[in-house]
């Protein structure tokens, strides 16, 4: 239990003091010279704060997380260096929950979530452009305006990036920032971005991210091409498609580099150039002491004072030797027993097989 009480002066995440005080230190801390960005915030735009349903989800997910000393050391290293944090480990060890824990602990607002699949490309995270929707609306406008040029020509003209054709739809209505693009908006306070399961991505995505991570920004070509006619365009964000933010000259440039948490289940290796730009953390499955602290933090149950729950933890650890289990499976088991479910003595093995089935291994 001694490690649980360790607190270091340089820690921002899980350090001493109230969240507001530690957040102020985070915002005021000088960045490394090579991570100092100069984006100019839109005074009319304010990111979501610590209220509302999205924040409640982040708070509930992150408040019960139990980081150990090494985790706090590595997370705070990433915060001070303003570098992405690459977290590896088996499924269910809490990789994605750590992102919510950082946001909840420092009061940084809802986590932006970018789930990655084999079909994900960089632009999916930066911004979305509904070109087809713009074409369709241009055609409908033509049908409402008798005597104008043919619908096909009108639609083709409207599909080209540029100001709204006279009487036609503006491109701004069909653009919105993705989670990475929203995280890179210029603000004095960083957002937390979770890039989930990046090891499932196409082989090119980690390399494509390098330039964005180094520059702290990106260009939206559809807006850059119309910069002379419309130097500033307001578009929606990943938080709220209706809450528009003004983009100048088609470029999004951060002021404070976001807290980027990338998770990997170890299904692939990453190029050295990508790894060099990340701070790396490997999470091992929790030991009995950490499991006890997790259960106490999440469910308010003191395992040491209950033979029944201590027995469930022991069963969880024994089953984990034959195949991977996730910590939330243990939490599910204890929650069910708290509710009085599966309480008959003869149900024990079926109960364990139901809630603690292996995720990997011969019996998965």
Query: CB under 8 Å to 2, separation ≥6 — which residues?
Result: none
User: Nearest to residue 250, comparing CAs of 177, 150, 145, 149?
Assistant: 177
pLDDT of residue 165: 34
For the chain, the three-class secondary structure string (H helix, E strand, C coil) is CHHHHCCCCCCCCCCCCCHHHHHHHHHHCCCCHHHCCCCCCCCCCCCCCCCCHHHHHHHHHHHCCCCCHHHHHHHHHHHHHCCCEEEEECCCCCHHHHHHHHHHHHCCCCCEEEECCCCCCHHHHHEEECHHHHHHHHHHHHHHCCCCCCHHHHHHHHHCCCCCCCCCCCHHHHEEECHHHHHCCCCCCCCEEEEECHHHCCCCHHHHHHHHHHHCEEECHHHHCCCCCCCEEEEECCCCCCCCEEEECCEEECCCCCEEEEEECCCCCCCHHHHHCCEEEEECCCCHHHHHHHHHHHHCCCHHHCHHHHHHHHHHHHHHCCCCCCHHHHHHHHHHHHCCCCCCHHHHHHHHHHHCCCCCCCCC
Backbone φ/ψ region at 256: left (φ over 0), alpha (ψ -120 to 50), beta: beta
Which residues of the chain carry a pLDDT beneath 50?
A: 1-3, 149-169
pLDDT of residue 156: 37
Rounded Cα distance, 233 and 157, in Å: 19
Residues 228-249 have pLDDT tens digits of 989 999 999 999 988 899 999 9
User: Nearest to residue 214, comparing CAs of 254, 268, 164?
Assistant: 254
Alpha-carbon radius of gyration of the chain: 24
pLDDT of residue 138: 58
pTM: 0.87
Residues 163-200 have pLDDT tens digits of 333 334 478 888 999 999 999 999 999 999 999 999 99
- CATH H superfamily, domain 2-126+175-283: P-loop containing nucleotide triphosphate hydrolases (3.40.50.300)
pLDDT of residue 304: 82
Rounded Cα distance, 350 and 224, in Å: 61
pLDDT of residue 274: 96
> Domains of the chain: which residue ranges?
2-126+175-283, 133-171, 288-355
Q: Which residue has the tokens 């713009």?
A: 134
Burial of 3 (0-12, 13-18, 19+ CB in 10 A): exposed
């Amino acid at each position: 239990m001694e490690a649980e009480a360790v607190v270091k002066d340089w820690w921002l995440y899980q350090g001493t003091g109230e969240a507001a005080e530690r957040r102020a230190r985070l915002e005021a801390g000088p960045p490394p010279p090579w991570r100092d960005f100069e984006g100019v915030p839109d005074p009319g735009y304010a990111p979501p704060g610590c209220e509302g349903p999205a924040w409640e989800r982040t708070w509930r997910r992150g408040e019960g997380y139990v980081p150990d000393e090494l985790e706090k050391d590595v997370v705070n290293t990433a915060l001070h260096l303003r570098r992405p944090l690459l977290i590896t480990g088996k499924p269910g060890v809490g990789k994605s929950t750590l992102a919510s824990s950082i946001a909840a602990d420092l009061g940084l607002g809802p986590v932006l979530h970018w789930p990655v699949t084999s079909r994900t490309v960089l632009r999916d995270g930066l911004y979305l452009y509904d070109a087809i929707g713009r074409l369709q609306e241009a055609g409908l406008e033509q049908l409402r305006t008798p005597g104008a040029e043919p619908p096909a020509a009108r639609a083709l003209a409207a599909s080209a990036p540029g100001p709204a054709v006279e009487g036609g739809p503006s491109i701004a209505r069909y653009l919105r920032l993705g989670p990475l693009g929203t995280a890179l908006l210029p603000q004095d306070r960083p957002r937390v971005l979770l890039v989930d399961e990046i090891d499932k991505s196409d082989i090119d995505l980690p390399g494509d991210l390098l330039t964005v991570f180094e520059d702290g920004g990106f260009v939206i070509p559809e807006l850059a091409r119309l910069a002379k006619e419309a130097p500033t365009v307001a578009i929606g964000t990943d938080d709220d498609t209706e809450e528009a933010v003004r983009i100048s000259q088609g470029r999004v440039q951060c002021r404070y580099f976001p807290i980027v948490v990338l998770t990997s289940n170890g299904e692939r290796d990453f190029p050295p150039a990508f790894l060099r730009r990340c701070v790396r953390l490997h999470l091992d499955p929790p030991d009995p002491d950490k499991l006890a602290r997790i259960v106490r933090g999440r469910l308010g149950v003191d395992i040491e004072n209950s033979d029944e729950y201590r027995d469930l933890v022991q069963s969880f650890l024994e089953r984990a030797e034959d195949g991977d289990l996730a910590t939330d499976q243990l939490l599910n088991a204890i929650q069910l027993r708290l509710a009085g479910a599966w309480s008959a003595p003869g149900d024990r093995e079926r109960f364990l097989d139901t809630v603690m089935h292996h995720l990997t291994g011969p019996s998965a």
